[in-house]
Structure 1
Amino acid sequence: MRLLVLLLLVLVLVLLCWTWTSSAVVRIPLRRMSSVRSRLRTRGLLGEFLRDHRPDAFNRRYAQCFPAGTPSLRLGRSSERIYNFMDAQFYGEIRLGTPEQNFTVVFDTGSADLWVPSVYCVSEACALHHRFKAFESTSFRHDGRMFGIHYGSGHLMGVMARDTLKVDNVTVLNQEFGESVYEPGAAFVLAQFDGVLGMGYPSLAEILGNPVFDSMMAQKSVDEDVFSFYLSRKQEGELMLGGADQALYTEPINWIPVTAKGYWQIKMDGVAVQGMSSFCPRGCQAIVDTGTSLIAGPTADILQLQQLIGATPTNIGEFLIDCVRLASLPHVTFALGGREYTLTAEQYVRKEMLGDRELCFSGFQTVDIVSPEGPLWILGDVFLTEYYSIFDRAQDRVGVLGPLLVHVGSVYR
């Protein structure tokens, strides 16, 4: 009898411990869906879209529709915006208001604003997505400020608001966010997400106010001021708020200090193409960005890298690779925090079907971003699908681990 009581007490303690640890972190499933670029290519509209949505042409066409002095429309400002929604593929769910209204968003470490379409939006894109109905929410608070955001190949304009936000079982009270009322052009029409939830530092925000994760930290909604991303090449991904999943990686955490608190910017020791050439041998700056699917870098370096991997340019600025040659292409290695992270051709090449034909595209692209520390590289999803990433706001550092374990059902191996 005493043994039975002891066993019951142990069971209760185990259950209590399990309950505590399971609430310590929050898991948000991330669905992988076809990107705007892929959908445009399938419809034969990609070339026209890229021509019409160049930042200079787009600004001239739509700048008069935005409030005077909108910061993101200043000449040259577009080059500072990293977020490339054309290639975004990982989306998760959030809920706004009371009662809750559901939205699909990109959880983006390359921006810091939260916005969703408003029911009052007049654009075609809004009609095809979930729209926030302020008049149905009893916890809604009107703000009155207007905002405009430019994302490189698309703009949006709206009004500020406050309401209760829920991300899985985490509740954030009085969260500032934008209600988009104008989304010109075709960029958001084909997007399979409603809005964006930025997870960068507050200084990156176009909208005044706390980014969502800052609100979570201030309201002590998570046990640790840490979040992490598992992005899978072929399956669903996962965002964890408040910690990291040790079942997903195989090495000790390689912590790299943040060098500038805007983007998640770190020092990169160098980039090397197997047996051929290296870039930024004295080190350079890189941004770890879940909102950019590709790996980007300065034009001169990326064009040379494309030649080294045998990629040839198309008339719309993409780079094609012969799918038959993948096994013979060189590896590309990124040195971070004293360790090397290598991508094979199978990992840095994007494969897409166009009808019954398979196309192979380089996973590298040119983006010229100047910072006080020099030109910036961007480590997007092509890198992050192979290496687990942890973002630590408490100590301002990024943890890079890998290679990722393979996810099979509910088992990682």
Structure 2
Amino acid sequence: MKWLLLLSLVALSQCRVTKVSLKKGKSLRQNLKEHGLLKDFLRNHPYNVASKYFPNLSNEFASEPLTNYMDMEYYGTISIGTPPQEFSVLFDTGSSNLWVPSVYCSSTSCTNHNKFNPSDSSTYEATNESLSIQYGSGSMTGFLAYDTVQIGGIVDTKQIFGLSETEPGTAFEYSEFDGILGLAFPSIASSGATPVFDNMMNEGLVSQDLFSVYLSSDEQSGSFVMFGGIDSSYYSGSLNWIPLSAETYWEITMDSITMNGETIACSSGCQAIIDTGTSLLAGPSTGISNIESYIGASDGTVRISCSAMSSLPNIVFNINGIEFPVPASAYIIDSGSCSSGFESIDVPTSSGELWILGDIFIRQYYVVFDRANNQVALASVA
């Protein structure tokens, strides 16, 4: 009995809940502006946010438009290898691969970021597999390998990850993060690589097969992603559970979008993806036009009077029979001048309209991503 108790305690000690702090860094837009490069970047890198979810809109590779990070970036620190080599990564629920720059990268983007050196790790295992990911504003190419990845207190051994050899363009060069850690489903992972959280679950490294996210509105601190647990002190009321409609991205069915009780978009129901890797709220151009007309945003520039913010209504996302309001203080971006936090995407889908609930939405709600039951939960932040 004594030995059984000891073994039970050992097993429990290996199942962890770990919280990784996320830093809200200087935006890519701000960095480019400070270097006098913003105008050229916007002219030379047109993109379609929908190409992240529909790669055929870009090319045959998985796509993730990094220009979504231009207005906000949330990133945290992980380590790879033995002894550990540290990297800042974007924790992205809209993609599934982990990759970081490598010492073999010849691009300018790699010169001012941390680079993984395989020869410095005793636990590194090479493969012959290549990795290519096309982004809306550039791309990365490299190869896959295995090594120990440490995230907070969790040690994830034999994790497959990408090492970049090329990172063309300026998006990576002026971003404050080194790489990306995808938290979506294995079905969308490039080159069939097992995502980090799947490896954690497979190895029994988390006490529950879920993770949760809190994005603070504060300038620097407070945000986190928690693996294996839920911190109830960060939300008020109860968690509202919503079943997934697809096991690719964290996709759910939305009932409608309303303002002042009037349906202005998604009138017949639509699909929505909850994505920490997208800054804004994105949807079909017709719905976005309705919203921007309603709030008085100028055509083409989506500029809006900052003084109007206090009188604008909530936009309400009706999901699974529950109302999730987002106030004007969240959906209007004030960076000296004010603009709409909405963005148009138009994609052909068999399920109708597609909306992306990015960081503007997530900052209002504590989100639980439950892989055990294929569902998400939302609760108002405390």
Question: In the TM superposition, what is the alpha-carbon distance from 1:148 to its structure 2 partner?
Answer: 1.0
Q: For 2:31 and 2:58, locate their aligned partners in 1 and report how far apart those are by CA, in whole Å.
A: 30
- How far residue 77 of structure 1 moved from its aligned partner, in angstroms, is 5.6
Secondary structure of 1:175's aligned partner: strand
Alignment partner, residue 348 of structure 1:
331
Aligned to 2:5: none
Unaligned runs of 5+ in 2: 1-8, 49-53
Deviation at 1:248, TM superposition (A): 1.1
> Matches of residues 185-264 of structure 1 in structure 2 within 5 Å?
185-234=169-218, 235-264=221-250
Letter aligned with residue 302 of structure 2: F
Alignment length, in residue pairs? 365
How many angstroms does 1:46 deviate by? 2.4
Matching residue within 64, 76, 94 for 1:110: 94
- Counterpart residue number, 2:378: 400
One-letter identity of the residue aligned with 2:110: C
By how many angstroms is 1:167 displaced? Answer: 0.2
State the distance in 1 between where 2:368 and 2:317 align.
17
Q: Aligned-pair RMSD on alpha carbons?
A: 2.4
What SS does the corresponding residue of 2:77 show, helix, strand or coil? strand
**Secondary structure at 2:190 match in 1:** coil
- Structure 2 residue aligned with 1:38: 30
Q: Please name the residue that 1:312 is paired with.
A: 298
Deviations 1:345-377 (A, max 9, x none): 11211221xxxxx11121111122333322310
Could you tell me how far 1:80 is from its partner in structure 2?
Answer: 6.4
1:85 to 58, 65, 69: 69
Which of 242, 261, 265 is the matching residue for 2:251? 265
1:82, distance to aligned residue in structure 2 (A): 6.4
Find the residue that maps to 2:337 and give its secondary structure: strand
Residues in 2 aligned to 1:107 and 1:279: alpha-carbon distance in whole angstroms: 29
Matched-pair contact (CA < 8 Å) for 1:72–1:149: no
Match of 2:105 in 1: 121
Aligned residue number for residue 48 of structure 1: 40
SS class of match (1:389): strand
Cα separation, 1, equivalents of 2:35 and 2:104: 29
**Scaled by the length of structure 2, what TM-score is found?**
0.90
Which has the greater radius of gyration?
Answer: 1
TM-score by length of 1: 0.83
Give the partner amino acid of 1:335.
N
Q: 1:40 Cα deviation (Å)?
A: 2.3
Structure 1 position 238, deviation (Å): 0.9
Q: Is the 8 A contact 1:36 1:86 kept in 2?
A: yes
Classify the secondary structure of the residue corresponding to 1:265.
strand
Instruction: Go from structure 1 to structure 2 and tell me whether the alpha carbon gap of 1:77 and 1:278 turns closer, same or farther (over 3 Å shift).
Output: farther
3-state DSSP of counterpart to 2:191: coil
The SS at the match of 2:40 is helix
CA-CA distance at 1:94 after TM superposition: 0.4
Instruction: Tell whether the 8 Å contact from 2:63 to 2:133 is kept in structure 1 after alignment.
Output: no
> How many angstroms apart in 2 are the aligned matches of 1:75 and 1:384?
27
CA distance in 1, matches of 2:171, 2:26: 14
Counting aligned pairs with the same residue, the percent is 40
By how many angstroms is 1:73 displaced?
A: 7.7
Q: How far apart, CA to CA, are the structure 2 residues paired with 1:45 and 1:303?
A: 29
Post-superposition Cα deviations, 1:361-413, rounded to whole Å, max 9, x if no partner, equal 211111223333223100000000011100000000000111x11xxxxxxxx
Contact residue 109 and residue 291 of structure 1 kept, 8 A: yes
Are the equivalent residues in 2 in contact too, given 1:230–1:388 (CA < 8 A)? yes
What residue in structure 2 maps to residue 280 of structure 1? 266
Partner of 1:297: 283
One-letter code aligned to 2:282: A
Letter in 2 for 1:105: V
Residues 1:362 and 2:344 aligned together: no
- Which range moved further: 39-48 or 149-158? 39-48
2-structure distance, mates of 1:125, 1:377: 31
Does the CA contact (< 8 Å) of 1:128 and 1:189 recur in 2? yes
* CA 107–143 in structure 1, closer or farther in 2 if over 3 Å, else same: same
Q: Give the conservation status (yes or no) of the 8 Å contact 2:59–2:134.
A: no
Q: Are the equivalent residues in 2 in contact too, given 1:279–1:301 (CA < 8 A)? A: yes
Distance 1:321 1:181 in 2: 42
Contact 1:55 1:78 in 2 (8 A): no
SS of residue in 2 equivalent to 1:187: coil
Amino acid at match of 2:21: P
Secondary structure at 2:194 match in 1: coil
Secondary structure (helix, strand or coil) at the match of 1:179 reads: strand
Q: Which runs of 4+ in 1 moved over 6 A?
A: 20-23
Counterpart Cα distance in 2 of 1:72 and 1:324: 40
In 1, are the aligned partners of 2:75 and 2:90 still within 8 Å (CA)? yes
Please tell me the residue identity of whatever aligns with 1:320.
R
5+ unaligned residues in a row in structure 1: which ranges? 1-16, 57-70, 353-357, 406-413
Greater displacement, 91-100 / 231-240: 231-240
The Cα of 1:81 is off from its aligned counterpart by 4.2
Match of 1:64 in 2: none
- The equivalences for 1:61-76 within 5 A come to 75=58
Structure 1 position 72, deviation (Å)? 5.5
Question: CA deviation digits over 1:224-269, x for unaligned, max 9?
Answer: 0010000011143011000110111112111111111110000011
8 Å contact kept, 2:62–2:133: no
SS of the residue corresponding to residue 96 of structure 2 reads coil
Question: Mean alpha-carbon deviation: is it higher for 286-295 or for 145-154?
Answer: 145-154
Partner of 2:354: 376
